[in-house]
């Protein structure tokens, strides 16, 4: 029995030692933060990357990896991301992945700015020519200035990282694109990696220089990977920053306000409309919007509301429909494809709004044509019975009440029916009812 007791104690001590050793190894293992970037580059995404890099530096990560798949985005947001990478206190790796991903337009600048640039197989990079956004027309001179500025900017970034500055400038001026194999051969990127583990393996031992001039040797062997995604608030703000979503929110908000004006006291449509409008204006503030289009859409709904309260014979409705269609088409006109409204959304919104306004206008017109059911107007056209002969003055009986009355049809005998044609104070004007 004593032998078994010592064996159990030995096993326990061995397990305890293994556990302590594993905790020590885990504590000493380097950590890596991976920021997932998929979609258009906008201010919400720029804030997410900035915060992610700062938190990675505070945690003492060996490296911060931005795994990216983007069709491009806003110039201002792209420059904010480049500044965050350039001024980072932790080495930043931009990894264009997974297979099938791309780093287009603004993505080229971001990839070029990384301390280490990597791409997965079957990926592409390029097409960084600036695109006029917001629907504005720019002359040839202004376009040349914009292109020259972008070309100088990306050339400066590429040279600072020791990459192919000539190709980078060509990507801006001529919108050229290349595969990951071509990018590696042309010194546009530093390496290709099929998986994240492969990337970490190739990063281990590489040396990079931070903004303060310090040299850092990457230690990513056996690193603990922390995948970081947007929280639910960032996800929500990023989702509504989509042009189609912004357009739908603007339409829902306007419809809700219209419904509340058409039928005051419903409350719910007004609340939904107000919230949707506020979210729409937030979204539009993050997008390259053509404000002429916004004003045309607002004008359209103003004309629709005016149709409810005036006899416009459909002219206000028609004008509003034209303004809505034109405003929808130019809301993001001239921008990159990533900042265009889906055609199905425009078609659906126009059909729904037109149907709602037509229905509401029809109901309002019916209400205007309907005879009043309360007040003195309710008496007009109703039948009464003569109680005291009208010659022409007398009394009539209507709904349990006696009224003074004046006949417009001469003398009318008691018991005969009359039609009320007018009301003057407490005196009714009547005419004799013709016999059928």
In tens, the pLDDT along 164-211 reads: 999 999 999 999 999 999 999 999 999 999 999 999 999 999 999 999
Whether 18 shows a pLDDT value over 80: the answer reads no
Among 6-20, 64-78, 198-212, 223-237, name the one with the lowest average pLDDT: 6-20
For residue 436, the model assigns a pLDDT of 60
Active-site residue 433, yes or no? no
pLDDT over 80 at 84, yes or no: yes
pLDDT band at 77 (very low <50, low <70, confident <90, very high): very high
Catalytic residue among 59, 145, 363, 383: 145
**What percent of the chain is helix, strand and coil (3-state, nearest 5)?**
50, 20, 30
With beta carbons less than 8 A apart as the criterion, state whether 196 and 202 touch.
no
H/E element, 431: strand 427-432
**If residue 132 lies in a helix (H) or strand (E), which one and from where to where?**
none
pLDDT band at 393 (very low <50, low <70, confident <90, very high): confident
- Residue 295: its H or E element: helix 291-309
Catalytically annotated residue among 56, 105, 276, 407: 105
% of residues, the chain, pLDDT over 90: 48
Q: Minimum mean pLDDT among 173-187, 282-296, 300-314: which range? A: 300-314
Mean pLDDT of the chain: 85
Whether the per-residue pLDDT at 56 is higher than 90: the answer is yes
pLDDT the model gives residue 26: 45
Delimit the domains of the chain by residue range: 28-231, 242-369, 376-432
Confidence of residue 421 (pLDDT cuts 50, 70, 90): confident
Active site residue 283: no
Q: Looking at the domain 28-231, which fold is it?
A: 2-enoyl-CoA Hydratase; Chain A, domain 1 (3.90.226)
Q: With bands split at pLDDT 50, 70 and 90, how would you rate the model's confidence at 398?
A: confident
Mean pLDDT of 104-116: 95
CB 129 within 8 A of CB 81: no
- The predicted structure's pLDDT at residue 20: 45
Neighbouring CB atoms inside 10 A of 153's CB total 19
Residue 360 has pLDDT above 80, yes or no: no
- The Cα 147–Cα 144 span in angstroms is 5
Q: Which residue has the higher pLDDT, 363 or 281?
A: 281
| DSSP 8-state symbol, 29 | S
pLDDT given at position 6: 47
DSSP bridge partners of 419: 383, 431
- Cα angle: 401, vertex 406, 409; to 5 degrees: 120
What is d(CA 235, CA 228) in angstroms, rounded to the nearest whole number? 12
Q: What Rg value do the Cα atoms of the chain yield, rounded?
A: 37
pLDDT on residue 90: 96
Q: Is the dihedral of CA 141, 143, 148, 149 positive or negative?
A: positive
User: Which span out of 209-218, 360-369, 404-413 was modeled with the highest average pLDDT?
Assistant: 209-218
420 bridge partner residues: 430
> Could you confirm whether domain 376-432 is CATH 2.40.50.140?
yes
With 50 as the cut, is the pLDDT of residue 134 above it?
A: no
Say yes or no to pLDDT of 136 above 80.
Answer: no
For residues 413-424, give the mean pLDDT. Answer: 86
């Amino acid at each position: 029995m004593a032998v078994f007791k010592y064996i159990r104690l030995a096993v326990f001590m061995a397990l305890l030692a293994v556990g302590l050793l594993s905790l020590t190894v885990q504590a000493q293992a380097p950590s890596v933060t991976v920021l997932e970037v998929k979609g258009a580059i906008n201010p919400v995404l720029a804030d997410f990357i900035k915060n992610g890099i700062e938190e990675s530096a505070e945690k003492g990560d060996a490296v911060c990896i931005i795994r990216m798949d983007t069709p491009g985005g806003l110039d201002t947001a792209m420059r904010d991301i480049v500044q965050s990478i350039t001024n980072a206190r932790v080495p930043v790796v931009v990894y264009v992945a997974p297979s099938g991903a791309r780093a287009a337009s603004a993505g080229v600048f971001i990839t070029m700015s990384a301390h280490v640039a990597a791409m997965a197989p079957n990926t592409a990079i390029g097409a960084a020519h600036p695109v006029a956004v917001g629907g504005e027309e720019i002359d040839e001179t202004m376009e040349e200035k914009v292109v020259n500025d972008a070309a100088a900017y990306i050339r400066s970034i590429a040279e600072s990282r020791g990459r192919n500055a000539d190709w980078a400038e060509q990507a801006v001026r001529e919108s050229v694109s290349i595969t990951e194999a071509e990018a590696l051969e042309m010194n546009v990127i530093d390496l290709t990696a099929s998986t994240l583990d492969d990337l970490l393996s190739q990063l281990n031992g590489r040396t990079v220089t931070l903004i303060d001039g310090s040299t850092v040797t990457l230690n990513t062997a056996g690193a603990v990977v922390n995948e970081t995604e947007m929280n639910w608030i960032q996800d929500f703000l990023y989702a509504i920053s989509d042009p189609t979503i912004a357009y739908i929110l603007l339409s829902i908000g306007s419809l809700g306000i219209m419904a509340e004006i058409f039928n005051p006291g419903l409350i719910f449509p007004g609340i939904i409309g107000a919230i949707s409008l506020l979210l729409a204006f937030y979204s539009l503030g993050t997008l390259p919007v053509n404000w002429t289009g916004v004003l045309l859409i607002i004008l359209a709904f103003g004309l629709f509301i005016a149709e409810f309260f005036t006899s416009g014979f459909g002219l206000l409705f028609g004008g509003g429909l034209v303004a809505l269609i034109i405003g929808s088409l130019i809301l993001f006109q001239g921008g990159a494809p990533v900042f265009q409204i889906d055609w199905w959304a425009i078609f659906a919104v126009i059909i729904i709004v037109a149907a709602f306004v037509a229905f509401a206008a029809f109901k309002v017109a019916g209400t205007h044509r309907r005879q009043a059911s309360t007040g003195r107007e309710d008496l007009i056209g109703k039948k009464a019975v003569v109680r005291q002969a009208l010659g022409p003055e007398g009394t009539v009986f209507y709904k349990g009440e006696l009224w003074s009355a004046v006949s417009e049809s001469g003398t009318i005998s008691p018991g005969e029916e009359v039609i009320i044609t007018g009301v003057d104070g407490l005196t009714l004007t009547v005419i004799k009812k013709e016999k059928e």
